[in-house]
């Protein structure tokens, strides 16, 4: 306990927020803000906004961003601090050793092989006059999109006007203006000004690659004659979207395994009617041509959970389980955790209670179960946390479950909220060990939800598994805006379940459907028998939540290379006999349980063969299809077909609808950034 409590001290603090602009009054995303003399800091979000908790007294904030002058601003009496950054060119010029222009029909490799003194090795590395080329610059600026070999291999030659080798004297020389010691050889690729404007993101700081993601094997097209049923657990996790946003804002394409299409789609709200029959969930469907292949069709299945007024929600017994290990010491981890949890505390009612467990080298209780109207006491406990030590995640989870059981509210909302980067390395730490622990503890009636933070050390696979097995959801919080969305705007949906173990099973009519493919949900697939088995877990839906799933269909009669084909069987005859006189394309069934029940209920709808032109579909259909298409491109999917950034961006713009919170507009901006970034064809590889 002492190891934990040494990081627990009282400090008076306040929150400073504002926007960061350039000299043309445009906001800047991704600016780093640090408290002067401290490692505590944050970054601006997509709209150039930031918020940071600072101690009382004289404080200075340091604002830094590539291509702009470092600025130090003193915090005054106001809690609002807006800053304008000035662009600069203050880097020491490197010495050009030799250079060649590139003709339009030449590749970078072709030019390199013609240059005197240059050797391109089999692994793609480059030697210049027997000295290894150590780095790459684009028009004099550091290129962080990959190694020398990957830059030469992946950067399209049509954007390069000239390449040259330069002597680089390093960052210290750039800052001090003094050349000292031996230079390294760097390959500089000069591009035109237009390209620099179109591809600004390649210069952003790279994200370290010590992150883990489970491998995704994409769903394939399936023949309904042999496999007519498709079954999966409906889930509303959306962590993949905000994690993707972090990558794009940092100037990188996310790893393919970090792009979970269903989570991207389910990040957004959709305007679906609520249930009217007293059920907690309503189901809706829509059918149209697939935007990336108009010979195919796209089916959207939407589930809408009922809304419940805050004063009608059951009492909550919450346990904040906070990782205060050394890995949480970064500016975008523990400081952001504190801000997030204090937002949640503001939503609590007197009937709600919250306790707080922390873990580092050991686990300890730092706040016993406390009524929700004692907000100052709870926030003080949050403010008094500091990071340091190893990560006894297993011990922390066990203690949190014990505290939750000790304060259990019958028919209430009993939930652990784990805030971490997922880096458990002491105690019960393997994914399998953690999964068994959660499955055992789940029987107590306590759920666990995950708030993921940070970059470079994110253990996405571990956090997703915990949430899936613990009857909870997983949210990745990359900035204060996302914290507001999860902790305030979607408070009820984040914490209060109205339907659990939600499963969907679709039966396809082979008279209408030649092949089908579920878009996403690869790690939520169930055996067909699991649909009727109430012991098998499904997904959970919170207050007001929507779940969206989409199938791509190849209609009967369409000739293309995606429909699966096998030779006729020799020893048996196929028994399936399609119902030719039916206009039904598919039947959708879904099961769910009431939160306090272990017996499921089922509802069912059919989809008829009345496909719309995609331009005549609802705003929600067009927008969801744009997000799917974006995911196909980010994943470089083998099923992307005719997907393209321009068409998905235009469709998303036409489908913004009532976008009061600005999330759809932000998606459009991210898609435009990804389009420009992928012109370099630099794909992040994180395994």
Residues 517 and 612 in one domain: yes
Q: Give the pair of three-digit tokens for residue 511.
A: 């008279």
Average pLDDT over residues 352-368: 90
Average pLDDT over residues 254-283: 93
- DSSP symbols for 292-325: TEEEEEEEEEEEEEPP--GGGSPPEEEEEEEE-S
| Listed residue (551, 548, 520) closest to 296, CA to CA | 551
- DSSP symbols for 494-527: HH-EEEEEEEEEEEE-TTTEEEEEE-S-GGGB--
Domain termination residue (choose one: 186, 203, 220): 203
Residues 583 and 664 in one domain: yes
Query: Is the pLDDT confidence value at 281 over 90?
Result: yes
Query: Is the pLDDT confidence value at 306 over 70?
Result: yes
Residues 290 and 429 in one domain: no
The verdict on residue 670 lying in a domain is yes
pLDDT for position 461:
79
Most confident of 181-185, 218-222, 343-347, 427-431: 218-222
Residues 622 and 649 in one domain: yes
Average pLDDT over residues 274-288: 92
Query: Is the pLDDT confidence value at 389 over 80?
Result: no
The verdict on residue 442 lying in a domain is yes
On the 0-12 / 13-18 / 19+ scale of CB atoms within 10 A, 489 is middle
Query: Is the pLDDT confidence value at 167 over 80?
Result: no
Residues 369 and 269 in one domain: no
| Structural contact between residues 152 and 119, judged by C-beta atoms closer than 8 angstroms | no
- Number of domains present in the structure of the chain: 4
Residues 365 and 473 in one domain: yes
Q: Which residue stretches of 619-662 are H helix?
A: 619-634, 645-654
Residue 576's pLDDT band (cuts 50, 70, 90)? low
Query: Is the pLDDT confidence value at 73 over 50?
Result: yes
Domain termination residue (choose one: 84, 111, 137): 84
pLDDT for position 192:
46
CATH of the domain at 465: 3.40.50.410
Query: Is the pLDDT confidence value at 40 over 90?
Result: no
Residues 543 and 452 in one domain: no
Average pLDDT over residues 577-581: 67
202 vs 487, higher pLDDT: 487
Query: Is the pLDDT confidence value at 177 over 80?
Result: no
Residues 147 and 190 in one domain: yes
Residues 316 and 304 in one domain: no
Residues 561 and 597 in one domain: yes
25 vs 618, higher pLDDT: 618
Q: Give the pair of three-digit tokens for residue 267.
A: 């990040």
CATH of the domain at 658: 2.60.40.1230
Least confident range from 136-140, 219-223, 306-310, 321-325: namely: 136-140
Q: Which H or E run contains 637? A: none
Residue 465's pLDDT band (cuts 50, 70, 90)? confident
347 vs 388, higher pLDDT: 347
Query: Is the pLDDT confidence value at 683 over 60?
Result: no
| Structural contact between residues 663 and 264, judged by C-beta atoms closer than 8 angstroms | no
Q: Which letter does DSSP use for residue 94 in this model? A: P
Residues 302 and 329 in one domain: no
pLDDT for position 27:
78
| Structural contact between residues 331 and 295, judged by C-beta atoms closer than 8 angstroms | no
Query: Is the pLDDT confidence value at 614 over 60?
Result: yes
pLDDT in tens, 391-414: 667 788 889 999 999 999 998 999
Exposure of 280 in the CB half-sphere (CA atoms within 13 A): 24
Bridge-based pairing of strands 513-518 and 546-555 is antiparallel
Residue 551's pLDDT band (cuts 50, 70, 90)? very high
388 vs 550, higher pLDDT: 550
Least confident range from 334-338, 439-443, 492-496: namely: 492-496
The verdict on residue 157 lying in a domain is yes
The verdict on residue 471 lying in a domain is yes
The verdict on residue 637 lying in a domain is yes
d(Cα 441, Cα 447) in Å, to the nearest integer? Answer: 9
Beta-carbon count within 10 A of 613 CB: 9
> 């998905």: which residue's tokens?
648
Residues 325 and 457 in one domain: yes
Give percent above pLDDT 70 in the chain: 79
The verdict on residue 517 lying in a domain is yes
Could you tell me the residue range of the domain that residue 347 belongs to? 312-477
Residue 96's pLDDT band (cuts 50, 70, 90)? very low
CATH of the domain at 33: 2.60.40.1120
Residue 601's pLDDT band (cuts 50, 70, 90)? very high
The verdict on residue 41 lying in a domain is yes
pLDDT for position 260:
96
pLDDT for position 430:
61
CATH of the domain at 167: 2.170.130.10
The verdict on residue 487 lying in a domain is no
pLDDT in tens, 231-268: 999 987 889 999 999 888 877 889 999 999 999 999 99
Domain termination residue (choose one: 84, 107, 136): 84
32 vs 130, higher pLDDT: 32
């Amino acid at each position: 306990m002492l190891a934990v409590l040494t990081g627990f001290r009282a400090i008076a603090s306040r929150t400073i927020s504002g926007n960061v602009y350039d000299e043309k009054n445009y906001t800047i995303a991704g600016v780093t803000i640090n408290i002067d003399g401290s490692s505590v800091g944050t970054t601006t979000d997509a709209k150039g906004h930031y918020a940071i908790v600072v101690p009382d007294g004289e404080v200075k904030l340091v604002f830094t961003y590539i291509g702009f002058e470092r600025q130090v601003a003193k915090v005054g009496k106001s809690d609002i601090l807006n800053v304008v950054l000035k662009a600069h060119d203050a880097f020491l010029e490197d010495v050009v050793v030799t250079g060649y222009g590139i003709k339009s029909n030449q590749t970078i490799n072709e030019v390199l092989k013609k240059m005197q003194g240059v050797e391109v090795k089999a692994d793609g590395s480059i030697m210049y006059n027997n000295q290894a080329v150590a780095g790459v610059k684009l028009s004099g600026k550091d290129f962080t999109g990959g190694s020398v070999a990957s830059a030469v291999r992946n950067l399209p030659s049509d954007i390069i006007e000239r390449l040259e080798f330069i002597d680089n004297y390093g960052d210290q020389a750039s800052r001090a203006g003094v050349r000292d010691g031996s230079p390294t050889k760097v390959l500089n690729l000069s591009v035109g000004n237009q390209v620099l404007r179109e591809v600004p993101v390649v210069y952003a700081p790279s994200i370290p690659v010590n992150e883990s993601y489970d491998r995704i094997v994409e769903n394939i097209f399936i023949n309904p004659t042999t496999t007519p049923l498709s079954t999966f657990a409906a889930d509303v996790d959306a962590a993949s979207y905000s994690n993707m946003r972090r990558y794009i804002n940092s100037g990188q394409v996310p790893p393919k395994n970090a792009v979970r299409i269903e989570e991207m789609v389910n990040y957004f709200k959709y305007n679906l009617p609520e249930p009217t029959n007293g059920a907690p969930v309503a189901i809706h469907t829509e059918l149209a041509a697939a935007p990336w292949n108009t010979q195919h069709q796209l089916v959207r299945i939407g589930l809408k959970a009922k809304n419940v007024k805050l004063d009608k929600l059951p009492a909550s017994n919450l346990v904040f389980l906070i990782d205060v290990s050394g890995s949480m010491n970064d500016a975008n981890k523990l400081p952001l955790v504190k801000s997030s949890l204090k937002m949640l505390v503001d939503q609590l009612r007197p009937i709600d209670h919250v306790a707080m467990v922390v873990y580092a080298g050991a686990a300890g209780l730092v706040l016993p179960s406390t009524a929700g109207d004692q907000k100052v006491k709870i926030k003080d406990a949050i403010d008094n946390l500091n990071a340091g030590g190893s990560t006894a995640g297993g011990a922390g989870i066990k203690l949190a479950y014990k505290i939750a059981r000790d304060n259990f509210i019958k028919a209430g909302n009993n939930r652990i909220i784990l805030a971490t980067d997922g880096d458990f390395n002491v105690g019960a730490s393997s994914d399998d060990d953690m999964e068994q622990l959660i499955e055992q503890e789940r029987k107590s009636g306590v759920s666990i939800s995950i708030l993921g933070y940070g970059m470079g050390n994110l253990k996405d696979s571990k956090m997703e598994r915990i949430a899936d097995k613990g009857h909870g959801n997983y949210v990745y919080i990359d900035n204060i805006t996302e914290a507001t969305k999860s902790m305030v705007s979607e408070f009820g949906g984040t914490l209060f379940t109205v339907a659990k173990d939600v499963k969907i099973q679709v039966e396809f009519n082979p008279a209408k459907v030649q092949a089908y493919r579920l878009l996403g949900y690869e790690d939520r697939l169930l055996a067909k028998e699991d649909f009727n088995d109430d012991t098998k877990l499904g997904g959970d839906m919170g207050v007001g939540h929507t779940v969206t799933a989409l199938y791509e269909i190849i209609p009967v009669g369409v000739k293309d290379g995606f429909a699966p084909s096998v030779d006729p069987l020799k020893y048996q005859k196929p028994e399936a006999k399609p119902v030719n006189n039916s206009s039904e394309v598919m039947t959708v069934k879904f099961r769910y349980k009431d939160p306090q029940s272990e017996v499921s209920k089922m509802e069912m709808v059919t989809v008829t063969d009345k496909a719309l032109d995609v331009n005549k579909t609802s705003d929600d259909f067009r927008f969801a299809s744009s997000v799917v298409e974006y995911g196909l491109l980010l994943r470089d999917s083998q099923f992307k077909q005719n997907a393209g950034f321009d068409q998905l961006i235009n469709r998303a713009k036409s489908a913004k609808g009532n976008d009061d919170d600005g999330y759809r507009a932000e998606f459009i901006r991210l898609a435009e950034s990804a389009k420009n970034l992928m012109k370099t064809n630099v794909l992040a590889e994180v395994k």
